[in-house]
């Protein structure tokens, strides 16, 4: 039999700390069942970034999409969990990296415990910085996500996209388009466009050409016979020398000729 709602006072603080501590340990261990077991049957999870409220029947899919899903992924907490009566306050940072872009979401949660379970979660997120190798850095605040993606899901999506480009190397095809990337990576065109344009602040073709430049730079580190740099550019997927020169300068700050001269001058 459930106990009545515990009073919001000092006597509740240790129980709240214990429950919320277990909750975030389950997140860190990617324990989906453990997270779900800690939600109250009447849980109300409000994600203000998505302007969305979820109940228990919706949370399993949501949590599964948010959990770190590769070894080594983690959420960086900026501060210890602060507990006051029935409510705990947590701040953390979610980093999203893809192509030449790097951004970070500053997120916070207010978690209320009732009957020894998570009863309310209010989650807030703000995009606090954006930068790239060529653009410098500055604040950026995208509109509320209306695509069903939380900051943690956007981070996972960026990592999945990066992994797909590294493993499959689709950029080697000069005709690569957004539809193919969406089909092969498992995300929708709208989701990828939102991640690139609104979060990472770059176009699809900038992201692709950045991957091509990285591929070419790797090739320059290995013997290539008589291949010239323009031939390497076409082999990396560029179909235009002007696009190659622009992308190369954006990434390295040098022209291809100056870069080769600098590389050959190294001991």
Residue 198 has a pLDDT of 83
The predicted pLDDT at position 113 comes to: 96
What fold characterizes domain 10-147? Answer: Nuclear Transport Factor 2; Chain: A, (3.10.450)
Per-residue burial over 44-80, b if 16 or more Cβ lie within 10 Å, else e, is bbebebbebebeeeebeebbeebbbeeeeeebeeeee
- pLDDT at position 88: 95
Task: Spell out the SS3 assignment of the chain.
Answer: CCCCCCCCCHHHHHHHHHHHHHHHHHHHCCCHHHHHHCEEEEEEEEECCCCEEECHHHHHHHHHHHCCCCCCCCCEECCCCEEECCEEEEEEEEEEEECCEEEEEEEEEEEEEECCEEEEEEEEEEEEEEEECCCEEECCCCCCCCCCCCHHHHHHHHHHHHHHHHHHCHHHCCCCCHHHHHHHHCCCHHHHHHHHHHHCCCCHHHHHHHHHHHHHHHHHCCCCCCCCHHHHHHHCCCCCHHHHHHHHHHHHCCCHHHHHHHHHHCC
Those residues with Cβ within 8 angstroms of residue 264's Cβ, 6 or more apart along the chain or in another chain: none
Domain layout of the chain by residue ranges? 10-147
Q: What is the pLDDT along the chain (267 residues), one digit of tens a residue?
A: 444 455 566 678 999 999 999 998 898 888 999 999 999 999 999 998 888 899 999 999 999 888 876 655 556 655 678 999 999 998 888 777 666 566 778 889 999 999 999 999 999 988 775 554 444 444 455 555 566 678 888 888 888 899 999 999 999 999 999 999 999 998 999 999 988 988 888 899 999 999 999 999 998 887 655 578 899 999 999 999 999 999 999 999 999 999 988 887 776
Q: What's the pLDDT at 74? A: 55
Q: Residue 242: its pLDDT value, please?
A: 94
Q: What is the pLDDT of residue 132?
A: 46
Q: What pLDDT, on the 0 to 100 scale, is given for residue 201? A: 83
Q: What is the pLDDT of residue 224?
A: 58
């Amino acid at each position: 039999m459930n106990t009545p709602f515990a009073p919001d006072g000092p006597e509740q603080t240790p129980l709240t700390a214990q429950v919320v501590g277990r909750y975030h340990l389950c997140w860190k261990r990617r324990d989906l069942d453990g997270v779900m077991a800690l939600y109250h049957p009447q849980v109300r999870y409000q994600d203000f970034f998505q302007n969305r409220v979820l109940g228990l029947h919706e949370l399993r899919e949501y949590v599964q999409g948010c959990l770190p899903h590769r070894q080594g992924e983690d959420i960086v907490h900026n501060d210890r969990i602060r507990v006051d009566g029935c409510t705990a306050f947590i701040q953390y940072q979610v980093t999203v990296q893809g192509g030449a872009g790097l951004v970070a979401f500053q997120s916070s949660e207010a978690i209320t415990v009732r009957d020894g379970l998570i009863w309310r979660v209010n989650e807030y997120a703000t995009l606090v910085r954006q930068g790239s190798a060529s653009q410098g850095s500055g604040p950026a605040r995208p509109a509320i996500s209306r695509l069903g993606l939380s900051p943690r899901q956007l981070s996972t999506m960026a990592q999945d996209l990066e992994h797909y480009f590294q493993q499959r190397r689709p950029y080697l095809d000069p005709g690569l388009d957004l539809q193919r990337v969406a089909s092969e990576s498992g995300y929708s065109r709208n989701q990828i466009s939102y991640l690139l344009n609104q979060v990472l602040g770059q176009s699809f073709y900038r992201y692709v050409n950045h991957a091509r430049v990285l591929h070419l730079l790797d090739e320059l580190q290995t013997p290539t016979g008589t291949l010239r740099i323009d031939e390497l550019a076409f082999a990396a997927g560029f179909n235009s020398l002007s696009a190659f020169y622009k992308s190369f300068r954006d990434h390295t700050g040098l022209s291809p000729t100056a870069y080769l001269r600098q590389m050959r001058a190294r001991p």
